[in-house]
Amino acid sequence: MIAPQERLIAAIARLILDPTAPPARHIAVGAASPIPAAACWLVKKLGHPVRLSLLHRPSGNPFTEGTRELFDLAGQGRIDLFFLGGAQIDGAANLNMIGTGAWPGTTARFPGSFGSAFMYMMTPRTILFREEHTPRVLVDKVDCISAPGTSEQGVFRRGTAQALVTGRCVFHFDGTRFTLASLHPGETAESVRAATGFEYAAPAEIPATPDPTEAELALLRGPVCDEMLETYPEFCQRVWQRSSFEGQAA
């Protein structure tokens, strides 16, 4: 029995390892991102040489200059890959993390933009991740742009979205538009089209998102979960029925 989260983790790990993308030697993962964090740990436990900077670890966080160090690292070009989400994501890969209705979010107010307006432009690769895949989230045009998916000529920018992973499918992004790349179990070309508020390209035959391999599942349920327990105890309990206490004993 493969948990849906395990499939998302494995799908993100494959995107990280995509040989056609710029190398991901150093990956940073923001707060409250258990699935991207697990994908990074999976890549590392698979034996790939990658440096992980995980924010908001309660102990032993990687930074000694305070929280600005993540942004300084990105400014220096030392972070190859970052993850972003969005309360709204549109077909041009624009992200809205602020709100809907009149500024600053009189209809619905979201937490805020965090560092997205900077990280999205300073990082060569961004993997967008949002589990909820509905027309409410994947919209034709975001109500406001926290972080732009593309920039005008002459604006300094190192990269943009590589892909968007949702609870239903994987989209690739080519710098202009999304293309449906694979479908998770139970989804069809039609079900994804109905759940998506923006236009995207789709090949005639859409492959299924591969299941995690047995080796990947073993890593996820063992050493990856061990690494995750301190930061994401509730996630580990929910997906792997493992509590912190066992983890620390392991």
Partner 1 sequence: MPHREIDQLAARIPDGASLALPPDNSLSPGALARALVRRGARGLRLIGVPVSGYATDLLIGAGCVASVMTSAVTLGEAGTAPRFTAAVKAGTIEVIDATCPAIHTALQAAEKGAPFMPLRGVLGSDLVAHRPDWKVIQNPFADGSDPILLVPALQPDFAAFHAVCADSQGNIYVGRRRELATIAHAAKCSLVTVERMVPGNLLEDELMAPGCINGVYIDSVAVAERGTWPVGLLDEYPLDAAHFREYATLARTDAGFATYLERFVHIDARVAA
Count the helix, strand and coil residues of the chain and give each as a percent rounded to the nearest 5.
Answer: 30, 20, 50
- Is residue 66 part of the contact set for partner 1 (CB under 8 A)? yes
Question: Nearest distance from residue 100's CB to partner 1, in Å?
Answer: 11
Which pair of structure tokens corresponds to residue 218?
């073993």
Give the contacts of 26 (CB within 8 A, at least 6 positions apart): 50, 51, 52, 53, 73, 78, 79, 80, 81
Shortest separation between residue 156's beta carbon and partner 1, angstroms: 6
Angle between helices 34-45 and 4-16 (to 10 degrees): 60
- Residue 56 or 177: which CB sits closer to partner 1? 56
Q: Does 26 bind partner 1 (CB under 8 A)?
A: yes
Q: Which of 43, 73, 138, 181 binds partner 1 (CB under 8 A)?
A: 73
- Looking at the Cβ atoms of 157 and 189, the one nearer to partner 1 is 157
Site for partner 1 in 182-221 (CB under 8 A): none
Please give the residues from 108 up to 167 whose contact with partner 1 meets the rule CB under 8 A. Answer: 109-122, 144-148, 150-157
Positions touching partner 1 (CB under 8 A) are 26, 31-32, 51, 53, 56, 58-69, 71-78, 97-99, 103-106, 109-122, 144-148, 150-157, 232-234
